[in-house]
């Protein structure tokens, strides 16, 4: 049996994701050892992600394990993976995507965003900016930590509700707390939300990478996320920039929606497109995201982006 060392963050959700991947690889004949570590994003919970850094706050340590030969593959939430990978690393598979939408989680039954004078916990600048634009009466508070920690803080009264990704809530078994699924047309998710990315060193044996891809890669999801990541790369949006994008692939056509919103929610550029592609040509897939990003940037998106950068990094 081919032995693979799989690197992952040590949070309960990350370990769920690692074991999900490990089980699929074990069925395919691999022997799996899981190595888990805390990343800088897991350790520094007293500051917002934008103050830690824009890129790789949940992936840097796992990247180093791959480059140092301490692990063969790393399992990430795709939304955590920067659009620019360190030299020598590559994504070799994207798993089937779970429902990508944002949800409202609360102990208050029938909680709706239309309710007034409510406090929502989220550490996402994208979610905060979108709330400020479409639901200005809602107040927010930064709450970080793993999913269980954030839910406990909510239950202890730090906020009335949390805004989270459906995928994590579902995987951790908290769907009974979901009070509202949010419309993707308004609360468009972060790039890659709901999907897992499998990262490896470029030095990993090609036959092994091909076999991993055959076991784990979900074709239509991979096309969608490649287009989204190309959008993010062209936008130069890090985790602290309220950039959003979601794509789907069907019948040789990529449907893509993406944009940027100012930190105060007052300005937004949102574009969508339906593009026929050659599904065997990765460059044509990525061009869909690149072209949409260029359209956003040329329609005042660049001005919004510069203001955000000046605010976050004066």
In terms of Cα–Cα distance, which of 244, 266, 246 is closest to 254? 246
Whole-number pLDDT of residue 33: 97
Whole-number pLDDT of residue 211: 97
* Residue 205: exposure state from Cβ atoms within 10 A (0-12, 13-18, ≥19): exposed
Catalytic status, residue 80: yes
Q: Which CATH class is domain 1-95+195-217?
A: alpha beta
Give 83-127 pLDDT, tens digit per residue: 899 999 999 999 999 999 999 999 988 788 886 788 999 989 999
Q: Are 231 and 259 in contact, with CB atoms under 8 Å apart?
A: no
In order along its 314 residues, the chain shows pLDDT tens digits of 799 999 999 999 999 999 999 999 999 999 999 999 976 655 444 545 555 455 566 788 899 999 999 999 999 999 999 989 999 999 999 999 999 999 999 998 878 888 678 899 998 999 999 999 999 999 999 998 889 999 999 999 999 999 999 999 999 999 999 999 999 999 999 999 999 999 999 999 999 999 999 999 999 999 999 999 999 999 986 668 899 999 999 999 999 999 999 999 999 999 999 999 998 899 999 999 999 999 999 999 999 999 998 888 76
Whole-number pLDDT of residue 19: 97
Whole-number pLDDT of residue 53: 53
**At a CB cut-off of 8 Å and minimum separation 6, what does 293 contact?**
230, 231, 232, 233, 234, 235, 258
Choosing from 42, 80, 160, 291, which is the catalytic residue?
Answer: 80
Q: Are 11 and 146 in contact, with CB atoms under 8 Å apart?
A: yes
Identical fold between 102-181 and 219-314:
no
Q: Are 248 and 304 in contact, with CB atoms under 8 Å apart?
A: no
Classify 194 in phi/psi space as left (phi over 0), alpha (psi -120 to 50) or beta: left
Q: Per-domain residue ranges for the chain?
A: 1-95+195-217, 102-181, 219-314
Q: Are 293 and 244 in contact, with CB atoms under 8 Å apart?
A: no
Return the CATH number of the domain spanning residue range 219-314: 3.30.160.40
Whole-number pLDDT of residue 52: 44
Whole-number pLDDT of residue 132: 96
Whole-number pLDDT of residue 117: 80
Domain 102-181 has CATH 3.10.129.10: no
Find the length of the chain. Answer: 314
**At a CB cut-off of 8 Å and minimum separation 6, what does 302 contact?**
none
């Amino acid at each position: 049996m081919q032995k693979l060392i799989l690197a992952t963050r040590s949070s309960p959700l990350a370990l769920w994701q690692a074991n999900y991947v490990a089980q699929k690889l074990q069925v395919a004949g691999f022997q799996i050892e899981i190595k888990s570590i805390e990343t800088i994003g897991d350790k520094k919970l007293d500051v917002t992600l934008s103050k830690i850094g824009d890129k790789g706050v949940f992936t840097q340590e796992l990247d180093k394990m791959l480059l140092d030969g301490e692990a063969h593959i790393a399992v990430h939430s795709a939304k955590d993976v920067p659009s620019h990978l360190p030299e020598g690393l590559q994504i070799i598979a994207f798993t089937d995507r779970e429902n990508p939408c944002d949800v409202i989680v609360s102990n208050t039954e029938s909680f709706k965003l239309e309710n007034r004078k409510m406090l929502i916990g989220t550490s996402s600048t994208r979610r905060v900016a979108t709330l400020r634009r479409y639901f200005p009466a809602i107040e927010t508070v930064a709450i970080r930590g793993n999913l269980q920690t954030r839910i406990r803080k909510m239950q202890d009264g730090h906020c009335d509700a949390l805004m989270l990704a459906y995928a994590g809530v579902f995987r951790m078994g908290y769907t009974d707390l979901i009070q509202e699924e949010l419309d993707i047309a308004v609360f468009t998710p972060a790039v890659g939300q709901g999907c897992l990315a499998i990262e490896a060193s470029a030095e990993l044996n090609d036959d092994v990478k091909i076999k991993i891809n055959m076991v784990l890669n979900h074709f239509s999801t991979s096309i969608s996320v490649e287009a989204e990541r190309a959008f993010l790369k062209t936008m130069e949006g890090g985790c602290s920039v309220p950039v959003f994008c979601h794509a789907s692939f069907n019948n040789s056509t990529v449907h893509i929606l993406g944009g940027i919103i100012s930190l105060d929610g007052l300005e937004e550029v949102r574009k969508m497109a339906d593009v026929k592609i050659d599904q065997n040509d990765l460059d044509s897939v990525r061009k869909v995201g690149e072209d949409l990003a260029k359209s956003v940037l040329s329609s005042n998106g660049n001005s919004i982006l510069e203001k955000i950068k000046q605010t976050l990094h004066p």
